[in-house]
């Protein structure tokens, strides 16, 4: 008898680690086992195939699906959770296959409710996953988080801003898509993942939307490598014991719980050792391997007997594909959608007309409409050599800008300056900034005022011209930073001299609370080429790069997308940015934000950007 664990090259590469771990454990029992890329080819009478149904049937070519003989020798491994379309697809596929095992007891119960004779397969200690081996050693990362981008997860992480920035963290959040290859910055596989976990003190685990069960692969991977699991409450996490083998709490307070664990090294170490010893002794993967081997024996004995089931056609491919239709049910057509480009054009034209009228009035009065006047300079500005110049454009932000400035006061970077250019505000923005500088004369700060309103690209460029440092940090008036933001971004640029810029994970907030994350994905030029901006303007950019690229766009048609245009041009020139995977900033989203206008319609702006970054978009 032989077990073949099937993993299609078109499937999510994450599952290959699981398949290889199980195949290795089966082989250790003396039963031949291997990982193979396809089910195509003739069926071997002594071979049993094991596959993850939602991954295989969702990604393999139809010609690679099992024929009637192969279906009688195929075991489905259900890794998904009830209530998700992936679980529905797994159950639909399993009705046509020989046997079913599932990693979660809740999945077993739900599958049995649908008439499947499912068995529970308890995942446990996998020797090949263990990079740690229980030995003492340094763990330079305080907190790790490994999870695909998900609205629920991202919103929760955005709410951890008071805690996470205190610790050295690694928030590795790849996009929600089929990931066939590892990405060194946010999607780790095999030995790279084990080493990462072995360097982490704590792993935070958050359920994705609609799921409350234990993510067994993630939990076991962490424990195998000594990362203490801090998770929101899970269903079906026994036989692991809370407070002994892991810590659990309310999803909104996981950062607080991790903070408590990190501040108690003795409790942390005892939990690490207890969990590791327990899974090695009580949950060895050999138990699951023996269960699979025994089940394979049963499957083969059944397959060798004549059966009418062999005449049943395979599951309808269309039925499977409908379950996984991207985005679920199609939303109703918005009758106003066709008006959005018109509204965007009108908004741009009205703004531009107002600016032209203002420029004409100023010119008639003998005032240069392009002028920028120095309004205030602090005593702390004189004689300083800043490492970072904080570039802060401002327009009608009297209620927000003080908080942005005050966040800089807590920075652990000793040498920074802030250059504020007010873009013709009609409120008390200038007075608020002046009062702040007066109250904090030690700050190296300058306030300039534009004689007319020009837009955020023009304003940022004027601030850059008046900045002194070689590293330029973009901070808008409705943003704020945490104490370690500047120092961590500086460190990242020093560690990678070839990088053009560095950016942190940024939490977004509305008046009602945390909303989600931006800038949480690693640098991927292919994402920019899709018309989506994965990186916020809050970034540390080398002055030489800004000079080479000619600064930010000042075309009003790009209003709200000036940062996206800059990153596209940067990528088009063969440059790259680096993600610092730590929550180091936050952004207050409101109806008045620049993105609110930009999001009305991006058609014309994207057309302009694609022409300004031809090398990037020609490859897409």
Contact between 70 and 42 under an 8 Å Cβ cutoff? The reply is no
With tokens 């259900």, the residue in question is 78
At residue 331, the pLDDT reads 47
Q: How far apart are alpha carbons 342 and 10 in whole angstroms?
A: 41
Is residue 187 classed as helix, strand or coil in its secondary structure?
strand
Q: How far apart are alpha carbons 449 and 454 in whole angstroms?
A: 12
At residue 462, the pLDDT reads 97
pLDDT tens profile 236-259: 899 999 999 999 999 999 999 999
At residue 60, the pLDDT reads 84
pLDDT tens profile 381-414: 999 999 999 999 999 999 999 999 999 999 999 8
At residue 278, the pLDDT reads 98
With tokens 């330079």, the residue in question is 140
At residue 532, the pLDDT reads 83
Contact between 521 and 186 under an 8 Å Cβ cutoff? The reply is yes
- Count of Cβ atoms closer than 10 Å to residue 399 Cβ: 15
Strand boundaries in 513-576, DSSP class E: 513-518, 540-542
Contact between 145 and 229 under an 8 Å Cβ cutoff? The reply is no
Nearest Cα neighbor of 598 from 539, 557, 567, 552 is 557
- Residue 7: is its pLDDT beyond 60? yes
**What share of the chain has pLDDT > 70, as a percent?**
88
At residue 327, the pLDDT reads 45
At residue 180, the pLDDT reads 82
- Residue 311: is its pLDDT beyond 70? no
Backbone angles phi, psi at 343, to 5 degrees: -60, -40
SS3 content of the chain, % helix, strand, coil (to 5): 40, 20, 40
Alpha helix ranges (H) inside 163-238: 190-198, 216-224
Looking at residues 436-449, what average pLDDT do you find? Answer: 98
At residue 323, the pLDDT reads 52
Bridge-based pairing of strands 228-232 and 540-542 is: unpaired
- The band of 65, judged by pLDDT with boundaries at 50, 70 and 90, is confident
Is residue 304 classed as helix, strand or coil in its secondary structure?
coil
Copy the structure tokens of residue 259: 């903070």
At residue 195, the pLDDT reads 97
Q: How far apart are alpha carbons 97 and 66 in whole angstroms?
A: 9
Maximal C-alpha separation, the chain: 99
Count of all residues that appear for the chain in the document? 620
Copy the structure tokens of residue 564: 């996206």
- Check residues 396 and 532 and name the one with the higher pLDDT: 396
Q: How far apart are alpha carbons 43 and 46 in whole angstroms?
A: 9
- Written in H, E and C, the secondary structure of 322-372 is HHCCCCCCCCCCCCCHHHHHHHHHHHHHHHHHHHHHHHHHHHHCCCCCCCE
- Count of Cβ atoms closer than 10 Å to residue 71 Cβ: 23
- The band of 176, judged by pLDDT with boundaries at 50, 70 and 90, is confident
Which of 33-42, 413-422, 455-464, 562-571 has the least mean pLDDT?
Answer: 33-42
Copy the structure tokens of residue 32: 């031949």
Alpha helix ranges (H) inside 43-159: 53-59, 68-71, 85-94, 105-113, 151-158
What does each C-alpha distance from 33 to 37, 47, 296, 374, 556 come to in angstroms? 13, 9, 12, 74, 62
Contacts of 214 (CB under 8 A, 6+ apart): 104, 231, 234, 235, 236, 237
Q: How far apart are alpha carbons 340 and 482 in whole angstroms?
A: 37
pLDDT tens profile 493-521: 999 999 999 999 999 999 899 999 999 99
CA angle at residue 141 from 21 to 192, to 5 degrees?
30
Which of 145-154, 306-315, 479-488 has the least mean pLDDT?
Answer: 306-315
pLDDT tens profile 105-137: 999 999 999 999 999 999 999 999 999 999 988
Is residue 235 classed as helix, strand or coil in its secondary structure?
strand
At residue 43, the pLDDT reads 59
């Amino acid at each position: 008898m032989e077990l073949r664990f099937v993993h299609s090259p078109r499937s999510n590469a994450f599952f290959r680690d699981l398949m290889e771990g199980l195949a290795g454990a089966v082989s250790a029992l003396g039963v031949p086992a291997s990982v193979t890329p396809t089910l195509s080819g003739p069926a071997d009478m002594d071979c049993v195939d094991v596959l993850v149904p939602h991954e295989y049937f969702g990604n393999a070519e139809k010609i690679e699906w099992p024929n009637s003989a192969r279906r009688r020798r195929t075991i489905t491994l259900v890794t998904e959770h009830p209530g998700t379309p992936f679980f529905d697809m797994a159950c639909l596929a399993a009705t046509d296959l020989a046997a079913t095992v599932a990693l979660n007891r809740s999945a077993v119960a739900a599958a049995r409710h649908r008439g499947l004779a499912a068995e529970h397969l308890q995942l446990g200690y996998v020797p090949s996953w263990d990079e740690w081996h229980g030995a003492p050693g340094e763990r330079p990362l305080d907190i790790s988080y490994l999870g695909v981008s998900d609205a629920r997860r991202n919103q929760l992480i955005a709410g951890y801003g008071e805690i996470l920035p205190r610790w050295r963290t690694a928030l590795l959040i790849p996009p929600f898509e089929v990931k066939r290859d590892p990405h060194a910055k946010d999607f780790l596989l095999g030995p790279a993942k084990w080493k990462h976990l072995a360097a982490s003190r704590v792993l935070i685990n958050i359920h994705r939307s609609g799921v409350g069960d234990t993510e067994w692969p993630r939990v076991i991977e962490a424990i195998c490598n000594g990362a203490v699991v801090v998770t929101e409450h899970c269903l079906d996490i026994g036989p692991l014991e809370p407070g002994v083998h892991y810590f659990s709490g309310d999803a909104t307070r996981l950062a607080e719980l991790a903070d408590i664990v990190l501040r108690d090294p003795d409790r942390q170490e005892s939990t690490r050792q207890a969990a590791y010893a327990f899974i090695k002794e009580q949950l060895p993967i050999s138990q699951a391997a023996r269960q699979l081997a025994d089940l394979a024996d049963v499957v083969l004995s059944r397959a060798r007997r004549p059966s009418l089931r062999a005449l049943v056609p395979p599951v309808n491919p269309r039925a499977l594909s409908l379950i996984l239709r991207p985005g679920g049910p199609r939303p109703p057509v918005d009758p106003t959608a066709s008006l959005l480009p018109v509204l965007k054009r009108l908004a741009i034209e009205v703004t531009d007309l107002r600016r032209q009228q203002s420029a004409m009035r100023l010119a008639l009065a003998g005032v240069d409409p392009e002028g920028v006047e120095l309004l205030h300079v602090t005593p702390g500005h004189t004689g300083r050599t800043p490492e970072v110049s904080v570039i802060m454009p401002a327009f009608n932000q009297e209620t927000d800008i003080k908080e942005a400035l005050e966040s800089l006061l807590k920075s652990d970077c000793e040498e920074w300056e802030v250059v504020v250019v007010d873009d013709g505000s009609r409120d008390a923005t200038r007075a608020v900034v002046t009062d702040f500088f007066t109250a904090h004369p030690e700050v190296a700060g300058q306030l300039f005022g534009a004689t007319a309103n020009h837009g955020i690209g023009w304003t940022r460029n004027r601030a850059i011209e008046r900045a002194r440092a070689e590293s330029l940090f973009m901070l808008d008036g409705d943003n704020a930073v945490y104490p370690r933001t500047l120092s961590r971004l500086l460190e990242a640029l020093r560690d990678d001299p070839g990088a053009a810029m560095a950016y942190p994970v940024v939490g977004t907030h509305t008046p009602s609370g945390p909303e989600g994350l931006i800038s949480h994905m690693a640098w991927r030029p292919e994402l920019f080429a899709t018309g989506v901006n994965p990186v916020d303007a809050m970034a540390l950019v080398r002055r030489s790069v800004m000079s080479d690229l000619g600064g930010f766009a000042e075309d009003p048609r790009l209003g709200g997308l000036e940062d996206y245009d800059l990153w596209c041009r940067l990528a088009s020139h063969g440059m790259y940015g680096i993600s610092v995977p730590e929550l180091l900033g936050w952004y207050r989203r409101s109806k008045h934000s620049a993105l609110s206008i930009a999001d009305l319609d991006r058609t014309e702006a994207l057309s302009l950007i694609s022409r300004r970054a031809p090398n990037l978009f020609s490859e897409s």
